[in-house]
């Protein structure tokens, strides 16, 4: 299957692994790339620059195929910000693809393009996707309300965003949110997208560096078992409906400040829970696609299954046209 995404990025299948804070490691990302998708490592895992450089080198040792580096843009660029340093290391180590997410990409897009790297920018609304195109993005990921992590404050569905954005931009668009199988991939392609970005499906993979209890939580739960919180601080996040998530909502209802909320929402809590297997003790970003995930498999098996489903579904729909 060839799309503008696969052609531009030099990959076999139109599937990208999401950035996945704490989980976008070389172990997982290389497995996705080796299976024909686009694996992604996340700089937030590596606060020390040299540790990040070693992660990139580890990634290159584990796969000879293309991969991306996810870089979260800070809300305010300050003199101590390391974003430019991470990008410099990417260039020095031969990384070919950067994904920007979070804040304003304008200060960093020219740096990335100057290094000759492909640029993917993740956005949650049409106007922001157009901004991404204007600053030089090669591809845009548009994420809908169903997505794990940060869906944006607009509460817009993946289906509507995929249709609207893919037809209003002049560059390839990938859909994030609501896709975990081949039927979703076929649907995204039918709406005009060039591929999909998946996170939750890859959390429930054998290569994901997270406890078996977290993977089993995904298998055991359904699309109604996630909630959104952190609305009060305008950093809305979709997570598993756990005790920690409910505690966050209760604190928000009582008017808690960001500093007070950090006792519950801190990434350190989630990271510790990922290792201990105590699912209830940290926010656990997962999308509504938990309702579509019924097993834990290797990334190779996941991608093979998705592609087989997508190809069969596309053929079935094509057969309807006489």
What string of pLDDT tens digits covers the 322 residues of the chain?
A: 999 999 999 999 999 999 998 999 999 999 999 999 999 999 999 999 999 999 999 999 999 999 999 999 877 667 668 999 999 999 999 999 999 998 899 999 999 999 999 999 999 999 999 999 999 999 999 999 999 988 888 889 999 999 999 999 999 999 999 999 999 999 999 999 999 999 999 999 999 999 999 999 999 999 999 999 999 998 899 999 999 999 999 999 999 999 999 999 988 899 999 999 999 999 999 999 999 999 999 999 999 999 999 999 999 999 998 8
Domain boundary assignment for the chain: 4-207+298-317, 212-288
3-state secondary structure the chain: CCCHHHHHHCCCCCEEECCCCCCCCHHHHHHHHHCCCEEEEEHHHCCCHHHHHHHHHHHHHHCCCCEEEEEEECCCCCCCCCHHHHHHHHHHCCCCEEEEEECCCCCCHHHHHHCCCEEEEEECCHHHHHHHHHCCCCEEEEECCCCCECCCCCCCCHHHHHHHHHHHCCCCEEEECCCCCHHHHHHHHHCCCCEEEECHHHHCECCCCCCHHHHHHHHHCCCCCEEEECHHHCCCEEEECCHHHHHHHHHHHCCCCHHHHHHHHCHHHHHHHHHHCCHHHCCCCCCHHHHHCCCCECHHHHHHHHHHHHHHHHHHHHCCCC
What is 4-207+298-317's CATH number?
A: 3.20.20.70
Is pTM beyond 0.85? Reply is: yes
């Amino acid at each position: 299957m060839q799309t503008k995404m696969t052609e531009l990025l030099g990959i076999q299948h139109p599937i990208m692994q999401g950035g996945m804070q704490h989980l976008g490691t070389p172990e997982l990302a290389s497995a996705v790339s080796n299976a024909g998708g686009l694996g992604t490592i996340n700089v937030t895992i590596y606060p020390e620059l040299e540790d990040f450089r070693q992660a990139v080198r580890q990634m290159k040792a584990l796969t000879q195929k293309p991969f991306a580096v996810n870089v979260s843009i800070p809300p305010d660029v300050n003199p101590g910000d390391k974003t430019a340093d991470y990008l410099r290391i990417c260039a020095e180590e031969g990384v070919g693809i950067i994904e920007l997410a979070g804040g304003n990409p304008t200060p960093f897009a020219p740096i990335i393009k100057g290094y000759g790297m492909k640029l993917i920018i993740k956005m949650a609304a049409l106007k922001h996707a157009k901004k991404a195109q204007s600053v030089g993005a090669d591809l845009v990921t548009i994420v809908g309300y169903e997505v794990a992590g940060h869906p944006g404050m607009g509460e817009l569905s993946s289906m509507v965003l995929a249709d609207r954005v893919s037809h209003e931009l002049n560059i390839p668009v990938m859909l994030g949110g609501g896709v975990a199988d081949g039927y979703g991939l076929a649907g995204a392609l039918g709406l005009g997208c060039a591929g999909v970005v998946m996170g939750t499906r890859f959390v429930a993979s054998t290569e994901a560096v997270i406890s078996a209890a977290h993977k089993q939580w995904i298998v055991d739960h359904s699309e109604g078992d996630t909630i959104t919180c952190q609305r009060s601080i305008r950093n809305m996040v979709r997570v598993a409906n756990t005790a920690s998530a409910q505690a966050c909502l209760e604190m928000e209802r009582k008017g808690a400040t960001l500093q007070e909320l950090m006792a519950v929402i801190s990434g350190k809590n989630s990271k510790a829970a990922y290792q201990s297997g105590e699912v209830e003790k940290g926010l656990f970003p997962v999308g509504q696609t938990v309702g579509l995930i019924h097993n834990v498999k290797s990334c190779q098996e996941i991608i093979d299954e998705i592609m087989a489903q997508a190809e069969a579904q596309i053929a079935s729909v094509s057969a309807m046209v006489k």
